Every structure is written in C-alpha cells, then in structure tokens.
Amino acid sequence: MIFRFKGEAKAGIDYKADCNQAGTEIALELPLFGDKNWDYVYNFPSAGFAIGGFYTLESELKPDIAVYTYPYFNYPIIHTPRLALNLKTGAGLGFYPQSVDYMAFEENPDGTGEIKSFGKVCRFTPMLSFGLNMDINLSKRYGNPWAQWAISFGGEVLVFHNAQICRRSCNRVLASGMLGVKYTPNVNPLPIKNKPKKVKKVMALEVGGMAGFNQLSVCDKNNYYLNASINGGLYYPFTNAYRLGLGADAFFNDAYDGTQRKINKQYNHITKDLFEYRLKAGVFLANDFTVENFVAGLHVGLYVYNPVKLPDDVEDKYYENIMYTKLVTKYRITKRFYVTAQIRSHLTQVECAEIGFGWAMPDFGSRVKNPFARLSFKGDDHNELKID
C-alpha cells in the first residue's frame, strides 16, 4: 500500500479577531492508485487525515489557541509526474484547550443591551476546510529516490463553527498560506493506467426541503425558532468531478418576530409579528464538487424577496440585505432520493443550519431534448394500412 507523510507550516489572518494567526499541520495521505475504477475517473485522488493547531496573535478575543483534526479529500485538477494541483475539502472537529464560558458579554450603561461579544464559546466545535494546494515532485522519474519527496504549497480557509445555533456565536474564519513537504516511503505497487468508465454529462434536476432551529442572539436564551427552506435547481457536469448549477430558494425563519425580543442591536426595528417577515426568496449559482454519490458545494445567491432589511446605520446591511451563501452537502441514497444538509450564512456570519431530503431526476437533460425517447411504439402493420 502506498502512503505519504505531510508536514506544513501555516500563517494568515483571523477574520473574526481581525489579527494574524499561525500554526502547523501534519497529515497521513493515502493515494488511490487503481484499486477502484473510479480512481481513474477522478484523476487519481487521495484521502488524508490531518492533525493541526493554530495560535491567534495579538488578539483580544479568547480563546486564542485551538487544535483540530479532520479527514479530507484531495481531487487533482492537474496531475502529471512532476506536479499536481489539488482541490482540498475536509470536515472534522476542533478543540479549544482554554475554558471560556462567554466572550466579553456586556450591557451598555444606557440600557440598550448591546452585545459586544461573539457569544458563548463551546470547547468542542465542528470545522470545515477548503483550499488549493500544489505538489511539486523533486523528480518525475518513477523509482528515483528524489521522486519520493515533494514540495507542497497553497492556500486554505478553515471555518470553526461554535456548535451553537445562535447567529452571534463565535464562528472563527481563518485564511492561511501554507508551505510544507511530502514524503512517500513506499512507491510499490506501480500504478497501471486503465481505461475509466465514462461519466454521462447530462443536466440533472434536483429539488429538496430542509428544516432546523436557530436564535438571533444569546439574549434569546432558551427560546428556539424554526427555520426551513425549499429549493430547486438545474445542474450540469462540466467534468467528472465538477458541476455548475442555477436554481431558486424559498426560506422561512420564525426568529424574525418583533414581539418576541425587545432588545436586539440589528433587528430592533421589527416591532410587529407579521408572517411576511418570516419569508425570503432568492436565486443562486451553485458550484458543486462531486464524487460518486457525494456532493459538496458552495452556493452564492441574491435575494429577490427580503422584507426584513437592516437599517442604514448597521454595518452588515450591504451583504445581509442583498446576498447569501450556502455550504451544501448531498448524499444520494437511491437513484432518485438523497439526504442533504446546508449551512446558510452572510459572509462570515452563520444564519442557520438545516437538514432534510431531496428528489432528483439525473437524466432530466436527455428527457428535455427528446421527451418521447423512452416511449415504445408498436411496429406498423402494413397489411392493416393497405387500401384496395
């Protein structure tokens, strides 16, 4: 079995703390070199398991130290004997060694109750990883000892969600540049190129429904509000592992009720309980990474209906009133049905998370081109049509 060791140093910025951060990461990678046919379909990808940590420099926010571990998947956009350009995606668990219950939760002297912190801190937190990295082998000749070594560099974004359903939870977003080395101690067996199966490039139709719970701030305490959404879209695969989609969303969020909370920095302009305040709608562009039955994507949308808009004096008004983003995962359990989960946010501020189910028509494009292609007709009986 072929495996690789990787060590990297990282440095970058922490968007939430508005300061610099640095860290290290080590990983074990298992290149997929032909055990399955889809190894060839997806250009010899690799699976990895990483352990790392970071330290936030000159930050007033606590905790400033975190460690994390996660499995990840490297998809080679470019793969040659000399170099590989990989798209990296992963998800795992983060841990804050410091014990912190709340982050500078204060109430203004004038009684407005402004929340100056990012909310409650959980010691264990889910995390996501997205990035691009390039591996340059020191030799391209297979079997050369220098070919076992590679220089690795690239960029990565780590997102640490605070495991709270409150919008003002401490969700850390770290952008880093990284530089490291990879070593492959075992280069046997020699991978043999095989002809991969063909992946049909047909437009698919997918519709889904999801639900969850959320809070606007820690002032909501034990009050939880229902959020739900339905969506539909058309998706076209441009490569074996990438597809582009266009669709529409309809959102429901019970948290936007002005009678439920008297103090809220951003939404204190809502004074009535109207059903229309709970509804939003938008259109989105989907960028999806697909491997077999699994889909992971980043969807960027624009609101076409949004009755609850932030006032002009709120800093977040521009991106929260106009656009939204979604981190979406899907897993197809049958040809037609799939389970799905998504996190909806406005840039770095998470609004809510949802889970649900969906229905798909993978061959929608071929049906549109020829809707009668699957209808069978009996052959003509020429004797029956004969005219004496």
pLDDT in tens, 273-301: 788 888 999 999 999 988 888 999 999 99
Q: What is the pLDDT of residues 63-94, one digit of tens each?
A: 678 899 999 988 888 888 888 899 898 989 98
Task: Give the C-alpha separation, 6 to 27, whole Å.
Answer: 5
For 36, phi then psi, to 5°, come to -120, 155
Q: What is the pLDDT of residues 112-150, one digit of tens each?
A: 444 444 455 677 888 889 899 999 999 877 777 888 899
Residue 202 DSSP one-character state = -
Q: What DSSP element (H or E) covers 369? A: helix 364-369
- Contact criterion met (CB below 8 Å) for 127 and 112: no
For 118, phi then psi, to 5°, come to -100, 0
**Model confidence at 176, in pLDDT bands (50, 70, 90)?**
very high
**Model confidence at 46, in pLDDT bands (50, 70, 90)?**
confident
Task: Give the C-alpha separation, 30 to 21, whole Å.
Answer: 29
What CATH class is the domain 204-369? mainly beta
Nearest CA-CA partner of 364 in 353, 377, 352, 373: 373
User: Residue range 7-17: average pLDDT?
Assistant: 86
Stronger pLDDT, 2 or 103, i.e. the higher one: 2
- Domain 4-183: which CATH number of 3.30.300.30, 2.40.160.20, 1.10.260.40, 3.40.50.1000: 2.40.160.20
Q: What is the pLDDT of residue 231?
A: 97
For CATH 2.40.160.20, list the domain ranges present in the chain.
4-183
Grouping H, G, I as helix, E, B as strand and the rest as coil, residue 322 is helix
